[in-house]
Structure 1
Amino acid sequence: MKTLVIVTHPNMDDSLINKRWMEALAQYPEKYTIHDLYKIYPDEKIDVIKEQELIESYDKIIFQFPFYWFSSPPLLKKWLDEVLTYGWAYGSKSGYKVGGKKIALAVSAGVNEEDYSATGEYKYTMEELTRPYELSFEYIKADYKGIFTYFGMEVNTTQEWVEKSVSMYLDFIDSL
């Protein structure tokens, strides 16, 4: 089963982790389709019908993005608002076109995992902070499979650290 990876990074050229993940995914075109929202929609005008048709053609979907301001880049929020419409994604007999599809998040986080804990600087775990995504996917009857988070990109920028994330990320996707 081929996986659609919806990547949302507003400045991919300056990315260490997300750019490397995309390079790794691109090595397996028979397994993964990369859908880079900022590249496809630089004007942020989303082709809703095209996006819905794309979603309908995959059973496994990953949303990959950097975590900042305790959320996703704004284009992903806009995509969710515009693409997951009433009558298609939820709310009618013909809705729930995403129902049953396996959906997961892949998030890069700048600080260490300890900072995302009850006793850490940000007081909440990554699972708690991404709960709105989980609830949204459950609302449209998708099969939410959780989150892959790679922490510490602001403090661990060695090539070895970046490369370590690649196999972990691909293993996460393949395990869904």
Structure 2
Amino acid sequence: MNKILVLAAHRYPDKSRISKAAIEAFTGLADVTVHQLTHAYPDFQIDVEHEQNLLRNHDTVILLFPFWWYSSPAILKEWQDQVLTYGFAYGSDGKVLHGKKMMVMTSTGGSAQAYTPEGYNQYAVDALLLPFHAMANKTGMLWQPPALVQGMNDATDALIDNGVNYWLERLQELRGM
């Protein structure tokens, strides 16, 4: 079975209804490790060796975060900067991540329509996620289409349930690959 690492990055993890619901749904699934970066590193002092070992021991990496200011929370960027080092994640000897799958699971406050050329953000989320796609390419990871849950500014319990169920479906797809 495919071992999956979920890197959950949220500035306020205990306040986000959808992130909390997703983490609860993913926790305890066979061969799924949920790793909450903000809880593990509230001081941003990343344990690089631990994080690299997590990556070595999993086949798929899911980045779970809210899409804020067209990117991820700072803890995920710090994780990238510290963990994805030359000789480990890229470079002539950096082949540890080659062939592992990577997926972004993200929620947006704005609706899907807001992320169109006609919408107030003017760009599709896929276009705004290009730096993550480039990261996957640079590290030899296999980019998976992102799993978007949109419209969280007006989140109802039903929207959150539907979003988490969608993310569970996508996770299950990755498990079967």
TM class by smaller structure: over 0.9
C-alpha distance in 2 between matches for 1:65 and 1:137: 16
Partner of 1:63: 63
- 1-side partners of 2:15 and 2:79: how far apart? 22
Match 1:168 to one of 141, 166, 169: 166
Aligned to 1:134: 133
- Report the 3-state secondary structure (helix = DSSP H, G, I; strand = E; otherwise coil) of the residue aligned with 1:33: strand
Hey, what does 1:79 align to over in structure 2?
Answer: 79
Q: What is the match of residue 145 of structure 1?
A: 144
Q: Give the secondary-structure state (helix, strand or coil) at the position aligned to 2:172.
A: helix
Gaps of 5+ in 2: none
CA distance in 2, matches of 1:140, 1:4: 16
Determine the C-alpha separation between the residues in 2 that align with 1:22 and 1:72: 17
Q: Which digits, 9 at most, give the CA deviation of each residue in 1:102-134, with x for residues without a partner? A: 000000100100000111111100000000110
SS in 1 for 2:98: coil
Q: What residue in structure 2 maps to residue 111 of structure 1?
A: 110
| Deviation sequence 1:21-73 (CA, Å, 0-9, x none) | 00111142x13110000001111100111110110000011000001011000
* Residue identity (%): 35
Tell me which amino acid in the other structure corresponds to 1:13: D
SS in 2 for 1:21: helix
TM-score (norm 2): 0.95
Secondary structure at the aligned position of 2:45 is classed as coil
Letter paired with 1:161: L
Q: Does 1:125 align with 2:121?
A: no
Ranges of 4+ aligned residues in structure 1 off by more than 4 Å: none
> 1:26 maps to which residue?
27
Residue 171 of structure 1 aligns to a residue whose secondary structure is helix
